Chain A
């Protein structure tokens, strides 16, 4: 799609989106938009539907109602895949393959930016020297970093980050914030879920509070 098409339209525009599991409402209806250069921090307790929201937006779950527009066009599977990079709880890494092999495979599947190469990305996330280490031998935090390297290589303008700080040490949290900042400076956007505000990236951030009570949840003001 031409870059001009999403210069004006928000990266993602959600209108009245709701989700129900077995007819029990989980969240919604929600309406919000994320512009280029903007991060939306999704907060809420356990079970509030943070992960479900991100999975619905990524197209992994079907919403019960409402719609999501990406870059000014209604969500279609192929265009959504190009528009969205999703970082979930399961990074899809193969334990028997090396870090570099995993990265190569995921980028072959999901696309990557031509301006970056794999070693560079591994260096950015602090995994330089681990190229040939089987993922089995990496710690949970290192696997998270490898998943972040995949995200770093992704050409998608909108990042959906589900608990990106989990398993990471303080420099790792710092790294996520720095990556989000650079991504936003480059005209991207991000939705970040987290339990608390302890790690909000220092960028233009809005806050979406998901209430654990069914059928409640709204956009609550701006922070920072």
Chain B
């Protein structure tokens, strides 16, 4: 048995990635739901606020960020629930790689399939809200840094609540306090840029938070999964 394929970090990540992409392809409709939800929120805001472009442009950063945050919250419960219910989580724990690694891969795939489409649709949504074009790079950068941070923070909360039958509102209650700083710095950097100030400070704080969460959140989520699953 010496020539056996021993699972490596890269090998397990590839297996998990392929599985998630195949699952996504089998359920193509579900995958677009978060992005559609965000688009819906933004369109409703645009309709409700009327055609005052100045007013729209003023609230655009906040609306876009809140839409991204809420749509992330919407898909958070599906992060580990399916895997917990069919026993996949048990197989993760049995795998010869750290559980935190698999949690990180799963979270990043989840981000790429739920939040990334939204980030890609942002220029369109920004146009809808009459966001000044000069702010678009700052908006995209803040979302590109902020949404993975939201996913990683959300992974910890989703892992904590995976043992419960219906975690809906509890999940939101637990996640929102963690999301608030991200929202403040994300939307704040945009607001600063809109007033002509330098947005770098907020963006750097987001980047620092992301770097920290990339290392710590998977470990915390893995621990929470073990507790919830014992």
Contacts and interface: CB of A to CB of B under 8 A. Distances in A.
Interface of A: 3, 58-62, 77-78, 81-82, 84, 86, 88-97, 101, 104-115, 155, 157
B96 A81 contact: yes
B90 to A, nearest CB: 6
B90 A97 contact: no
Contacts of A59: 93-94
B18 A105 contact: yes
A108 to B, nearest CB: 3
B87 A108 contact: no
B5 interface: yes
A36 B96 CA distance: 22
Interface residues of B, number: 34
Interface of B: 1-7, 11-12, 14-16, 18-19, 22-23, 26-27, 83, 86-96, 98, 102, 229-230
B88 A108 contact: no
A155 B88 contact: no
B91 A109 contact: yes
B7 A110 contact: yes
30 contacts: A3-B2, A58-B94, A60-B94, A77-B98, A78-B96, A81-B95, A82-B6, A82-B96, A84-B94, A86-B90, A89-B87, A92-B86, A92-B88, A92-B89, A92-B90, A97-B26, A101-B22, A104-B15, A104-B18, A105-B15, A105-B18, A106-B91, A107-B15, A108-B11, A108-B12, A109-B91, A110-B94, A111-B96, A115-B3, A155-B4
A216 B108 CA distance: 47
A85 to B, nearest CB: 8
Contact of B91 (A62, A78, A89, A110): A110
B76 to A, nearest CB: 20
Most chain A Cβ neighbours within 10 Å, of B3, B4, B92: B4
Contacts of A82: 6, 96
Given A60-B93, A96-B27, A105-B15, 9 more contacts: A3-B1, A59-B93, A92-B89, A94-B23, A101-B22, A108-B14, A110-B95, A112-B5, A155-B5
